[in-house]
Chain A
């Protein structure tokens, strides 16, 4: 079965500190992987995506993620947190064959402490 697991429903970091949000996937076929961000009362905005090109993917707002097949992981990082990064982050997976609907993780709420 295909699924996504986000470790940690809440993560708090100090402003300027490293942000690390964890995502592991389960897939029997090559996956596409995504990170989306949701600000309060807004829709989901695509941060970055992995579609089988470079394993290190750079996204918007200084975020990046690395696809590690051996670890079935796609963790999201940002070297220095900003107050405006406070939001909910969702990891999602779809597949290179078959239907391309997204399977979402349960989300991680990021709090940035001044």
Chain B
């Protein structure tokens, strides 16, 4: 157990729908990162939050949004889902904003049908 908790583990939904993925960081970690892993794009950085504030943004679609709450858990919202959004979505956390690498959760596998 890495200490980073992601729910749900699996999600199957239809095109056009909206889903929310949840991440609880390791105790004491202030930064949360979201990554997407797909067969064609590999591991892509989506977005980072640090202590409730957006810190960095990567290849995140406008249909996707995220937030980090006061208790430091984070949610990734995916809307108007398309077949191509099917992927593994990972959350990671780290103590601060230094680039020392971070701890990943076990991921949420999203299947859009």
Which chain A residues have a beta carbon within 8 Å of chain B's beta carbons?
32, 34, 36, 42-46, 49, 51, 90, 92, 94-96, 99-107
Contact = CB atoms under 8 A, between A and B. Distances in A.
Contacts of A107: 42-43
Contacts of A100: 48, 56, 94, 97-100
Pick the most buried of A51, A102, A104: most chain B CB atoms within 10 A of its CB: A102
A51 B94 CA distance: 15
Contact of A104 (B4, B43, B48): B43
B84 interface: no
B25 interface: no
B35 to A, nearest CB: 8
A53 B73 CA distance: 32
Contact of A101 (B56, B100, B105): B56
B2 A43 contact: yes
B64 interface: no
Interface in B2-41: 2, 4, 33, 35
Given A99-B48, A99-B56, A102-B45, A46 B101 contact: yes
12 contacts: A36-B104, A42-B106, A43-B2, A43-B90, A43-B106, A44-B90, A49-B101, A92-B101, A100-B98, A100-B99, A101-B56, A107-B43
Contacts of B79: none
Given A43-B4, A96-B99, A102-B101, 5 more contacts: A44-B90, A44-B92, A99-B56, A101-B56, A107-B42
Interface in B96-113: 97-107
B106 to A, nearest CB: 4
B104 A101 contact: no
